[in-house]
Structure 1
Amino acid sequence: MAIDFGTCFTTAAVRVEQAGTAASGVVVTAVEIENSRYLPSLVCLDDDGRLLTGRAAVQLAAQRPERAESHPKRALLRQSAVLLDGGEVATAELAAAVLARAADEARAQRGGTEPVRTVLTHPADWSPGDLDRLVEAARLAGLDAPELLPEPVAAARFHAAEVQAEGDGPIAVYDLGGGTVDTAVLRREGSGFRAVAVAGDPDFGGRDLDQALFELLRDRALDLDPEPWQRLWGDRTPASAHQRSQLARELTLAKESLSSTGTVYLAVPGYPEPFVVQGGEYRAAVTPALTASIVLLERTVARAGLTPAELGAVVLCGAASRTPPVADLVAARLGRIPDLAADPKAAVALGALTDPPAPAGVDTGADAGEEAAQDAVSADGSRRWTVAHYPDEVDPELWF
């Protein structure tokens, strides 16, 4: 079982080895939770003090935002507890609620069977202390001694298994999630990958793109008539809280729609007509921040001692990677068209359980497999890939 605990959404996958059956082989599938591959990471406290996840949490949070933590992944890194409805709740417990829900659904997909192996993915730049917090949350969720895998590594595995047209050259990964951006360059060696360079920004992600769209809408509303906008955001009643929550959801949908359409319409309570946002003005608003994140990718490639022309592929993944103009900016700065997974968010969870094909002519016997599996075992029993915080380069003997 693999779980990709995200800032905004969490995904899970299961791997089943069907030896000795008519359909023998390895099958990796995404886990559906409430008919979706994407479980909202939001957690909300109910009337009985229980932590809700999924649709129930989203519905209650719209009415009682003071009981909700929208981004428990960020909270886990920044503080030990948050205030929900006036009381302290440990952030590890919030993260554990999400992990436990994903794990329960994964087990249910396999008839209640316990997994023989559990993998948790994480941003490549997380420090050992950050990983300690994730392992503690996993322990509270009943997931002892998990394997920890950097998200770009999982994405590279998935890409290598799905697309082989580029050959066996190094793979650069740009992973733009809801709250973070990760970059990595991985080289194919033996039956696995070696991380050549990794870097990330824990303070930039899809939420910031939502904020840019929000600011466009806010400025337009204030120019037209400031009173309804100020009333909407100043009123503390449950009705206004619900309206703000609904508008936030519509902003996220509008951002996603702008990847395929040139215009979106946004209705704001208190205004008689919807506001029109053009794709061009949205792209202009987000381009400076996106460019900075793609410069990070460019520098990561340079740290790996490579030029973009030497890469076998540039892979985009993460929930926000479809955002215009990500692909265009990558192509402009690196001089090559990137590959976007059909399901860029689920690619990380699926890739965490995927065995990439070995390069041509490479022995994939027992020795190669054992070498590719080398990692470190921490005092808490978790298996971790040794990736330093914001490194220029990782251990050249490190394999994934």
Structure 2
Amino acid sequence: MSDWSLAIDFGTCFTTAAVRVEQAGAASGPVAAVAAVEIENSRYLPSLVCLDDGGGLLTGRAAVQLAAQWPERAEQHPKRALLRQPAVLLDDREVATVDLAAAVLARAADEARTRQGGTAPARTVLTHPADWTRDDLERLVEAARRAGLDAPELLPEPVAAARFHAADLRAGGGDGPIAVYDLGGGTVDIAVLRREADGFRAVAVAGDPDFGGRDLDQALFELLRDRALDLDPEPWQRLWSDPAPAAAHQRSQLARELTLAKESLSKTGTVYLAVPGYPDRFVVQGGEYRQAVAPALTASVGLLERTVARAGLTPDELGAVVLCGAASQTPPVADLVAAWLGRSPDLAADPKAAVALGALTDPPAPAGTESDSDSADDTGDEGTRTAAGSVRWSVAHYPDEVDPELWF
């Protein structure tokens, strides 16, 4: 039997994967090593899928490169498409959104298998937003089946992030409840979890499927657009209306530069953006970007506040508030959370990969507790499965108020 496990965090903008390998250890037993999978020398595989000349589905750098030339052949956000519609039109061909998701999952799984000598994983864990319905999860499982991943286990993304944080020796949250604010490319997910002897008990979860890092990109785009239109509207209008391949490539390149600029604003106060048709670069200051994104981010932190309140907790009772997800490093996020919390939140050691790594990480037991083997063996109703490690969770729809008997 294979001695390794696979986890895939299928994201709106990027997908990450991790493997867990059971290695021979000391007399106390085997030691598990968990590591992110590198695909094309990066931990972060673009989720974009593009139709090639022969009708096949490309992923990774090849897809990104082709999409820059033929944007009509690409689905930029297959995860969102999976939830919203059964098929999309790529160029003149209708493609099932389940197949788009399957292409991304298959690429991640194939890379992991290659690094494990071509063997299949003993188990596979797929993460998902906390508020996905049973129908949403069934579509994800069908995509996994088409990718050659049968009977995957499912785990909510913020729960995986909490486990990763709890096992991180740098975490200072102790054994208190953990709140997770997971701001990905397309969604924000919140979970409040209590530590128990054999894992975490979720006491409240929530999510917004229509807000994420791409919306922050859009805010920066609108800042740039307004500045360009004020200076001279003609080059901007020509850039966005020209159907020629060269213009399509320029638009794609500008979109990538906007994403990089957004990330740069977390480390520097000023970014410079060149726009075709304009002789000089446009300057965007960090302060004006913060002002532009503050309303949406404030609303997302309000969701965190309400979720903690529904869990029956105050900010002072939380052991930690963990920030993860690709967009969690956006400058106002930590400031807004800190203003509510009264102290600085914890940024996950690897915000983008924390979910995939956490899906295969066993959280340490709280100090002075022992696992309750009788409880661990009770899997509850037929909709409950056993996920990685010694924690339990349910694949049922997670409402605003979570049954306190559901275990994660």
Q: TM-score, normalised by structure 1?
A: 0.96
Aligned residue number for residue 398 of structure 1: 406
Unaligned residue ranges in structure 1 (runs of 5+):
none
1:382 to partner: Cα distance = 9.9
Output the CA distance in 2 between the equivalents of 1:370 and 1:146.
20
Aligned residue number for residue 241 of structure 2: 234
- 1:125–1:388 Cα contact (<8 Å) kept: no
Residues 239 and 29 (structure 1 numbering): CA distance in 2 closer, same or farther, change over 3 Å? same
Residue 212 (structure 2) aligned to one of 205, 208, 214: 205
1:336 to partner: Cα distance = 2.4
Cα distance per residue 1:175-209 (max 9 Å; x no partner): 00000000110000112001000000000000000
Output the CA distance in 1 between the equivalents of 2:23 and 2:377.
22
User: Does 2:371 align with 1:364?
Assistant: yes
Output the CA distance in 1 between the equivalents of 2:219 and 2:397.
28
- 2:166–2:364 Cα contact (<8 Å) kept: yes
1:391 to partner: Cα distance = 2.0
1:9 to partner: Cα distance = 0.2
Output the CA distance in 2 between the equivalents of 1:376 and 1:35.
42
Q: Percentage identity across aligned positions?
A: 83
Task: Give secondary structure in 1 for the equivalent of 2:123.
Answer: coil
Q: TM-score, normalised by structure 2?
A: 0.94
Task: Give secondary structure in 1 for the equivalent of 2:394.
Answer: coil
Residue 385 (structure 1) aligned to one of 393, 396, 403: 393
Unaligned residue ranges in structure 2 (runs of 5+):
1-5
Pairs within 5 Å for 1:1-400: 1-19=6-24, 24-162=30-168, 163-364=170-371, 366-367=373-374, 369-370=376-377, 374=379, 385-386=393-394, 389=397, 391-400=399-408
Residues 334 and 27 (structure 1 numbering): CA distance in 2 closer, same or farther, change over 3 Å? same
- 1:125–1:200 Cα contact (<8 Å) kept: yes
1:166 to partner: Cα distance = 2.2
- 1:82–1:91 Cα contact (<8 Å) kept: yes
Aligned residue number for residue 3 of structure 2: none
1:91 to partner: Cα distance = 0.2
Q: Which runs of 4+ in 1 moved over 6 A?
A: 381-384
Residues 99 and 376 (structure 1 numbering): CA distance in 2 closer, same or farther, change over 3 Å? farther
Cα distance per residue 1:316-340 (max 9 Å; x no partner): 0000000011000001122221000
1:366 to partner: Cα distance = 4.5
Output the CA distance in 2 between the equivalents of 1:19 and 1:370.
26
Count of aligned positions: 397
- 1:148–1:382 Cα contact (<8 Å) kept: no
AA partner of residue 174 (structure 2): G
Residues 54 and 5 (structure 1 numbering): CA distance in 2 closer, same or farther, change over 3 Å? same
- 1:7–1:72 Cα contact (<8 Å) kept: yes
AA partner of residue 283 (structure 1): R
1:165 to partner: Cα distance = 2.6
- Considering only aligned residues, what root-mean-square deviation do their CA atoms show, in Å? 1.9
Task: Give secondary structure in 2 for the equivalent of 1:118.
Answer: strand
Task: Give secondary structure in 2 for the equivalent of 1:204.
Answer: coil
